[in-house]
């Protein structure tokens, strides 16, 4: 035994060339495989094991090495290589970063240095993309100072939504460039000469600011968002998007706001549901006078809003001349009353939770949310959390616009939702008009419901992804539901509080499922059918994925 021990000790000495181990390798572009120079590589060591108290006696190496967490970093050289020397044994978290790349997590992120160093570690960096293009007018002339919006479309809550990922401007050549674009689906919109509301404090009328021509906003590939050509960005994609705009004479819209309060005033020029204003507005806090520039011929609704709480709207028609003398008075945004009733008996489970110390939510509740509308970006307006009773205030004030009413219940399933004579289950879209006194949203839900649970079991395992399950009810007025099936819990899933009835379940590899689009639902095949009764639990195994 003694002989063996010495042998092992000698081996230990030989591999400790320079008082420690070597951790070396290179950083490569995940898409092209080429080396990445000047990337910052960081090796972070957690507290090394066996580091109790004075570690010197336990180590066969010369020199004490720090025990607590330890970081070392360096830039890669021209061939993308890095080399750390003199490291102690332990587990290292290796990462790389460089502008215009995202780090792609790989299994090799954790490197273990135990009996020897590692010399061939490969760290991948996934490149981000760029979108470049040129905006020209109908005469082929470059359009400069145009605000170009790079809008990411993704599916949120079953419907396609758009949000602005980047905003850039064209130069004198009409060229724009947006970089560091993550993979995804994008629309490009030319929105008018860049600008925003400038507020000033004097009695003078604003002096001439130009703005004698303008154009209707246009998208890459088409005039509207629906007709636009989406750009699909993968890692490292270099996309090109040229847009032609039609430059026309433009005019000014002038008026005063009677009763603005402290804070900024937001202006929007609405054509249908879209804000087509360029954003160039001059507003005087002394007199309330405003001047909106660069408005081309057309019929619009001019809206002024303050803090999302007060709003004024006025229809305008621009036909070859400036519009003058508008008088706008801000009024309280609309309050929508909500009344929720929950019928049926609370389940045993709910009764327990009501008595228990950890009852975090009342047994069975529903929340009404309005999705859509302008001015608040695309964040939904929450109308309040109500169990029973009428809430005349109805939660947040609602700016005029078109919204989809969403009702989600916990511990109960939706029986009916109506607003006046409108059946919201058949048609969830409502229009809120300024100054109107809207009808109450009446919601009836039923305690309990059925449960569908199960797991996704596939022949080939997709790596590192969470999967999703969509339950589509046979009754078309009910909403489909999408739930995750997390990898960590063996891809199990469950749907709670479902209305009794028939459902078809489908598995998906991402959460980008457009279940509020009837065409999308009609095209689904290969699902598992299941029936669930009140208070019952059904089990399903999903064996294949759609898409």
Partner 1 sequence: MKRLLLLLTVAATLSAAELYRVAGVLVDSETGSPIANASLALSPGGESRGELVTSAGSDGRFGFDAPRGKFTLSAVVAGRSEKFGLTSPFAGMGCAVITGPDQDTAHLVFRWYRPVVIAGRVLDDQGEPVERARVQLLYSGVVGGRSRITPLTDAWTDDRGDYRIWWVSGATYYLVVTAQPWYGNNGLARLGQTQAPVAYATVYYPGTTDIARAAPLTVPSGGEAHADFTLTAVAAATITVNCDNDAAGEASATQRRGGMTARVIAEGIGGTETVVSQPPVFRCPFTVNGVLPGRYLLRLSNTGTANPLVAQQWIDVGAGDMAVSLSLHPPASVRGNVTLKSGGARPGGTLVVHLSREAGNTSVSMAVGTDGGFSVPRIEPGKYRVFVSGAGYYAETIRAGDTALPDGVVNIEDGVESRLNIVASNESGRLKGYATRDDQPVANMLVVLVPRDPASGYPNQPFQTDSDGSFDWPPTRAGDYLLFAVDDPTVAWADPQTVRPYLSQAKSIRIEPGKVTEERVPVQAAAR
Least distance CB 234 / partner 1 (angstroms): 17
Binding mask 302-321 for partner 1 (x = CB under 8 A): -------------------x
Q: Which of 144, 256, 297, 512 binds partner 1 (CB under 8 A)?
A: 144
Is 256 near partner 1 (CB under 8 A)?
Answer: no
Is 69 near partner 1 (CB under 8 A)?
Answer: no
Q: Which residues pair with 219 in a beta bridge?
A: 189, 222
Is 326 near partner 1 (CB under 8 A)?
Answer: no
d(CA 158, CA 148): 27
Comparing CB distances to partner 1, the nearer of 38 and 163 is 38
Comparing CB distances to partner 1, the nearer of 208 and 525 is 208
Binding mask 174-213 for partner 1 (x = CB under 8 A): ---x-xx------------x----------xxxxxxx-xx
Comparing CB distances to partner 1, the nearer of 78 and 317 is 78
Comparing CB distances to partner 1, the nearer of 171 and 234 is 171
Number of Cβ atoms within 10 Å of the Cβ of 341: 17
Whole-Å CA distances, 134 to 40, 235, 302, 407, 510:
34, 23, 30, 44, 34
Comparing CB distances to partner 1, the nearer of 21 and 403 is 21
Would you say 59 and 12 are in contact if contact means Cβ atoms under 8 Å apart?
A: no
Which residue, chain included where needed, has tokens 């029986």?
Answer: 415
Comparing CB distances to partner 1, the nearer of 193 and 386 is 193
Would you say 218 and 244 are in contact if contact means Cβ atoms under 8 Å apart?
A: yes
Is 297 near partner 1 (CB under 8 A)?
Answer: no
Tell me the number of residues near partner 1 by CB under 8 A: 42
431 class by beta-carbon count within 10 Å (0-12 exposed, 13-18 middle, 19+ buried): exposed
Comparing CB distances to partner 1, the nearer of 191 and 504 is 191
Q: Which of 35, 86, 473, 500 binds partner 1 (CB under 8 A)?
A: 86
Least distance CB 332 / partner 1 (angstroms): 32
Q: Which of 72, 156, 216, 415 binds partner 1 (CB under 8 A)?
A: 72
d(CA 223, CA 215): 11
Q: Look up residue 39 and give its DSSP letter.
A: -
Least distance CB 111 / partner 1 (angstroms): 17
Would you say 50 and 60 are in contact if contact means Cβ atoms under 8 Å apart?
A: no
Least distance CB 72 / partner 1 (angstroms): 6
Segment interacting with partner 1 (CB under 8 A) among 73-81, 389-397, 406-414, 462-470: 73-81
C-alpha torsion 74→80→83→84, nearest 10: 30
Comparing CB distances to partner 1, the nearer of 179 and 520 is 179
Residues near 370 by beta carbon (within 8 Å), at least 6 away in sequence? 336, 380, 381, 382, 383, 398, 403, 404, 405, 406, 430
Least distance CB 382 / partner 1 (angstroms): 30
Q: What is the DSSP string of 298-332?
A: EEEEEEEEETTTEEEEEEEEESSS-EEEEEE--EE
Residues between 34 and 53 that touch partner 1 (CB under 8 A): 37-38, 40
Count how many Cα atoms sit within 13 Å of the Cα of residue 139 in the half-sphere of its side chain: 5
Segment interacting with partner 1 (CB under 8 A) among 83-91, 256-264, 340-348, 435-443: 83-91
Helices marked H in 322-422: 348-355
Question: For the chain, how many residues are written?
Answer: 547
Is 145 near partner 1 (CB under 8 A)?
Answer: yes
Would you say 99 and 2 are in contact if contact means Cβ atoms under 8 Å apart?
A: no
Residues between 94 and 133 that touch partner 1 (CB under 8 A): 99-100, 130
Is 391 near partner 1 (CB under 8 A)?
Answer: no
Least distance CB 208 / partner 1 (angstroms): 4
Residue 543's SS3 state is coil
Binding mask 275-294 for partner 1 (x = CB under 8 A): ----------------x---
Q: Which of 61, 73, 418, 496 binds partner 1 (CB under 8 A)?
A: 73
Q: What is the CA radius of gyration of the chain?
A: 31
Comparing CB distances to partner 1, the nearer of 210 and 420 is 210
Least distance CB 180 / partner 1 (angstroms): 7
Nearest to 210 by CA among 148, 161, 262, 278: 278
Residue 279's SS3 state is coil
Whole-Å CA distances, 380 to 152, 186, 310, 532:
18, 21, 18, 31
Segment interacting with partner 1 (CB under 8 A) among 173-181, 234-242, 296-304, 340-348: 173-181
Residues near 288 by beta carbon (within 8 Å), at least 6 away in sequence? 256, 257, 258, 260
Comparing CB distances to partner 1, the nearer of 75 and 331 is 75
Comparing CB distances to partner 1, the nearer of 66 and 420 is 66
Is 71 near partner 1 (CB under 8 A)?
Answer: yes
Nearest to 82 by CA among 122, 138, 48, 132: 122
Structure tokens at 227: 């007709």
Least distance CB 233 / partner 1 (angstroms): 15
Whole-Å CA distances, 108 to 79, 94, 126, 143:
20, 8, 15, 49
Site for partner 1, rule CB under 8 A:
37-38, 40, 66, 71-75, 78, 84-87, 99-100, 130, 141-142, 144-145, 171-172, 177, 179-180, 193, 204-210, 212-213, 249, 252, 254, 291, 321-322
């Amino acid at each position: 035994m003694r002989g063996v021990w010495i042998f092992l000790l000698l081996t230990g000495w030989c591999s400790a060339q320079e008082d420690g181990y070597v951790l070396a390798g290179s950083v490569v572009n995940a898409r092209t495989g080429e080396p990445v120079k000047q990337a910052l590589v960081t090796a972070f060591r957690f507290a090394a094991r066996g580091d109790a108290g004075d570690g010197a006696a336990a180590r066969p190496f010369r020199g004490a090495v720090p025990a607590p967490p330890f970081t070392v970093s360096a830039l890669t050289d021209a061939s993308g290589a890095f080399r750390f020397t003199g490291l102690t044994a332990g587990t290292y978290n290796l990462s790389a970063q460089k502008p215009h790349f995202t780090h792609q997590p790989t299994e090799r992120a954790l490197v273990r240095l135990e009996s020897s160093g590692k010399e061939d570690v490969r760290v991948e960096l996934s490149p981000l993309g760029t979108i470049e293009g040129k905006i020209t007018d109908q005469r082929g002339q470059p359009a400069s100072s145009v605000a170009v919006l790079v809008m990411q479309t993704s599916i949120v809550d079953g419907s396609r939504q758009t949000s602005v990922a980047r905003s850039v401007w064209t130069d004198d050549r009409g060229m724009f460039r947006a970089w560091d674009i993550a993979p995804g689906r994008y629309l490009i919109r030319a929105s008018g000469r860049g600008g925003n509301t400038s507020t000033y404090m004097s009695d003078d009328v604003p002096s001439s600011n130009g703005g004698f021509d303008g154009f209707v906003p246009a998208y890459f590939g088409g005039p509207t968002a629906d007709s636009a050509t989406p750009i699909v960005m993968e890692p490292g994609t270099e996309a090109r998007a040229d847009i032609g705009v039609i430059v026309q004479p433009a005019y000014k819209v002038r008026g005063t706001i009677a009763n603005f309060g402290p804070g900024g005033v937001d202006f929007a020029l609405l054509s249908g549901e879209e804000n087509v204003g360029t954003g160039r507005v001059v507003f005087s806090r002394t007199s309330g006078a405003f001047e909106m520039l660069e408005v081309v011929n057309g019929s619009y609704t001019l809206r002024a809003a303050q803090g999302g709480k007060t709003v004024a709207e006025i229809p305008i028609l621009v036909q070859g001349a400036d519009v003058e003398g508008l008088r706008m008075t801000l009024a309280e945004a609309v309050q929508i009353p909500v009344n929720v009733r929950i019928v049926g008996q609370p389940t045993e489970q709910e009764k327990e939770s009501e008595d228990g110390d950890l009852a975090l939510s009342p047994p069975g509740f529903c929340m009404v949310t309005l999705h859509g509308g302008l001015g608040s970006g695309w964040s939904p307006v929450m109308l309040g959390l109500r169990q029973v009773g009428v809430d005349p205030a109805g939660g947040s004030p609602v700016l005029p616009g078109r919204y989809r009413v969403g009702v989600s219940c916990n511990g109960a399933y939706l029986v009916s939702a109506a607003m006046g004579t409108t059946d919201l289950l058949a048609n969830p879209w409502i229009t809120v008009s300024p100054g109107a006194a809207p009808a109450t949203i009446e919601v009836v839900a039923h305690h309990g419901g059925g449960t569908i649970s199960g797991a996704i079991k596939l022949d080939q395992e997709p790596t590192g992804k969470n999967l999703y399950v969509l339950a589509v009810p046979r009754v078309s007025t009910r909403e489909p539901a999408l739930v995750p099936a997390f990898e960590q819990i063996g891809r199990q899933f469950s749907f709670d509080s479902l209305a009794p009835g028939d459902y078809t379940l489908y598995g998906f590899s991402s959460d980008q499922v457009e279940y509020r689009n009837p065409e999308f639902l009609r095209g689904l095949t290969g699902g598992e059918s299941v029936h669930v009764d009140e208070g019952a639990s059904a089990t399903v195994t999903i064996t294949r994925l759609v898409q």
